[in-house]
């Protein structure tokens, strides 16, 4: 979510900041997609927006994929592409599947925290 701020003294709007986003949420989303089949950065970008409701910064996505490879969750190989530039194709690893599992459990906990907050908020509103 993007927030724009209004300076209360001069009325000028200043920098917008992130709020409410789940840190590195894109990584389990990528791994979930890859667990269904190998893919490449550009293709993942399209699938992430379609299936995960995630708008992705493409530069961030490529950097994230390299980081995930460094961490051992995915592996990559260059794939010849006659219809355009060659592609770096990513495949999920055993460690990647393990991380996906722990990420799911972590996100379940996060989900509970958010629920707890929303319940408290709604209770407070009706009071």
Partner DNA sequence: GCACATATATGTCAACATCATATAGTAGTT
Partner DNA sequence: AACTACTATATGATGTTGACATATATGTGC
Residues that bind DNA (CB under 7 A): 15, 17-18, 21, 23-26, 40-43, 57-60, 62-67, 81-89
Q: Which does 43 bind (CB under 5 to 8 A by kind): its own copies, DNA, none?
A: DNA
**Does the protein bind its own copies through residue 20 (CB under 8 A)?**
yes
What does DSSP say about strands 87-92 and 74-79: parallel, antiparallel, or unpaired? Answer: antiparallel
Q: Which residues contact 70 (CB under 8 A, 6 or more apart)?
A: none
**Does the protein bind its own copies through residue 12 (CB under 8 A)?**
no
Nearer to DNA, 8 or 123 (CB): 8
What does DSSP say about strands 39-40 and 87-92: parallel, antiparallel, or unpaired? Answer: antiparallel
- In eight-state DSSP terms, residue 58 is H
**Rounded least distance, CB 109 to its own copies, Å:** 7
């Amino acid at each position: 979510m993007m927030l724009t701020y209004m300076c209360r003294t001069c009325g000028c709007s200043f920098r917008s900041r992130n709020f409410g986003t789940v840190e590195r949420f894109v990584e389990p989303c990528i791994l979930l997609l890859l667990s269904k089949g190998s893919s490449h950065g550009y293709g993942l970008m399209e699938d992430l927006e379609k299936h995960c409701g995630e708008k992705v910064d493409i530069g961030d996505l490529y950097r994230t994929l390299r980081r995930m490879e460094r961490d051992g969750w995915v592996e990559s190989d260059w794939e010849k592409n006659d219809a355009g530039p060659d592609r770096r194709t990513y495949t999920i690893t055993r460690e990647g599947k393990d991380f996906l599992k722990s990420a799911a459990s972590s996100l379940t906990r996060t989900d509970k925290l958010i629920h707890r907050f929303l319940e408290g908020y709604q209770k407070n509103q009706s009071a």
